[in-house]
Amino acid sequence: MKVRLLGTGAGGGFPQWNCACPLCSACRAGSPDVPARTQDCLAISSDGRDWYLLNASPDIRAQVIAEPALAPGPGPRDTPVRGVLLTDAELDHALGLMLLREGGGLSVWAPPAVLHALADGFPIRAAVARYGEWHWRPAGEPVAGLDVTTLAVSDKRPKYARESTADGPWVVAYRISDPATGGSLVYAPCLATWPPGFDEFVAGASCVLLDGTFHSAREMTGTGTSTAAQHAMGHVPIDGQDGSLARIRSAAGSGTRWMYTHLNNTNPVLDRRSPEYRAVTEAGVEVPIDGTCLEL
Can you give the pLDDT at residue 227?
67
Can you give the pLDDT at residue 6?
98
> CB count, 10 Å around CB of 241?
5
pLDDT band at 100 (very low <50, low <70, confident <90, very high): very high
Can you give the pLDDT at residue 229?
62
Can you give the pLDDT at residue 219?
84
Output the DSSP codes for 192-228. Answer: SS--TTHHHHHTT-SEEEEE-S-SSTTGGGGGT--HH
Tell me whether residue 236 is exposed, middle or buried, using C-beta atoms within 10 angstroms of its C-beta: 0 to 12, 13 to 18, 19 or more: buried
Higher-confidence residue of 270 and 168: namely 270
Does the 2-295 domain belong in CATH 3.60.15.10? yes
* Amino acid making up residue 64: V
**Cα 163 off chain centre by:** 25
Tell me whether residue 291 is exposed, middle or buried, using C-beta atoms within 10 angstroms of its C-beta: 0 to 12, 13 to 18, 19 or more: middle
| Bond prior to 158 in cis (omega within 30° of 0) | no
pLDDT band at 144 (very low <50, low <70, confident <90, very high): confident
Helices (H) then strands (E): counts for the chain: 10, 12
Q: How far apart are CA 284 and CA 277, in angstroms?
A: 11
Handedness of CA 235, 241, 242, 244 (dihedral sign): positive
Residue 53 has pLDDT above 70, yes or no: yes
* Amino acid making up residue 52: Y
pLDDT band at 251 (very low <50, low <70, confident <90, very high): confident
The pTM assigned to this predicted structure is: 0.94
Q: What is the mean pLDDT of residues 240-249?
A: 91
Q: What is the mean pLDDT of residues 176-186?
A: 97
Can you give the pLDDT at residue 223?
72
**Cα 253 off chain centre by:** 25
Q: What is the mean pLDDT of residues 251-257?
A: 81
Higher-confidence residue of 251 and 35: namely 35
Q: How far apart are CA 8 and CA 213, in angstroms?
A: 10
DSSP bridge partners of 102: none
Least confident of 90-99, 215-224, 236-245: 215-224
Cβ(117)–Cβ(157) below 8 Å: yes
pLDDT band at 86 (very low <50, low <70, confident <90, very high): very high
